[in-house]
Amino acid sequence: MPSPNSASDLAASAAADDYVHVSFGVSTPSKVGKRFQKPHQVFVKFTHVESGTSSYFVGASEGTLGESAVGAKYRVAVAVAKEVETFKHLSGTYTVSILASDVAYVNPTEWVVGSIDLTLPAKAKPHFALYTKPLMYESDNTLAPLSEIVHQMRPPAKRASAFMATVFTAAVVVYLVGFVSHVLSLSPNLHRMRSLSSYLFVICMVTLMLLIVGYWLALDAFDFYDTIKYLCILVPITMVVGSSAIASVTHARLEETKKSA
């Protein structure tokens, strides 16, 4: 070819069993004279313009150029239908270039021939019987990055409005104040609660109330799981201590009844 990148308007199709033939010669510049060193490696490269994927084909030697020039002839014949896997089923425009490399070269010499449009069939997806497709089939059979997997957490539960939360909070506070007022109005007699179990029972009840209030106020150290954990520890202790406290109060009441009789 007289100049690089001069071939254009070329096309080939795998469905029509087309071939792409590239014939070229590698010669010594005229200023060197008759001395010619045959390159160690010669390739024809097809680069898919859209994806940048390249496919390489080895140039087959076909003897010398003849008496008119000092060099060697090469030829590449690409059967498009047979090289579909080599082209990775990528249809579109390809840039065709010739690469000549040798141990004396730092980088291979590249000559751009031009462009060609290749029509290739899409890659057929294999059909698997039910439950026989490998779990990692997609990642094990691709040469391109997989699509990003974005994990979406479950959206938070819908919360009540500030007005409804205030109403229910006020209702709970009113009920608690009414309960405490009623207990105090009964003038409870606490002189029978003189045993150790009675004191421990009162401490457990106060601790449970503080724990529930801390969770109600959403304090940092009283989230849901911590509150449940503390309740699982305190409730059994409170039940055992409360049973012992009730027994001691009953015993004290019976002793007072015997003395008054």
Same domain as 18, residue 112 = yes
Where does the pLDDT of residue 55 fall: very low under 50, low under 70, confident under 90, or very high at 90 and above? very high
Q: Percentage of the chain surpassing pLDDT 90?
A: 31
The per-residue pLDDT for 93 is 94
Instruction: Look at residue 18 and tell me whether its pLDDT is greater than 90.
Output: yes
* Per-residue pLDDT tens over the stretch 93-131: 999 999 988 777 778 888 899 999 999 998 887 777 766
Which CATH number do you get for residue 106? Answer: 2.60.40.10
Write down the pLDDT at residue 261. 63
Separation of alpha carbons 219 and 55, rounded Å = 64
Please report the pLDDT score of residue 32 as a whole number: 53
Which residue range(s) make up the domain with 100? 7-119
d(CA 50, CA 95): 10
Q: Determine the residue type at 82.
A: K
What is the per-residue pLDDT for 63? 80
- The total number of structural domains in the chain stands at 2
C-alpha distances out from residue 207 to 27, 44, 211, Å: 96, 83, 6
Residues 6+ apart with CB under 8 A from 235: 208
Last residue of a domain, one of 63, 97, 119: 119
Per-residue DSSP letters for 151-206?
--PPPPPPPPPHHHHHHHHHHHHHHHHHHHHHHHHT----TT--SHHHHHHHHHHH
- Residue 92: CB atoms within 10 A of its CB come to 13
165: in domain? no
Lowest model confidence (mean pLDDT) among 157-166, 184-193, 194-203: 184-193
Residue 88: left if φ>0, alpha if ψ -120 to 50, beta else—which one?
Answer: left
Q: Residue 227's closest CA among 209, 215, 210, 239?
A: 215
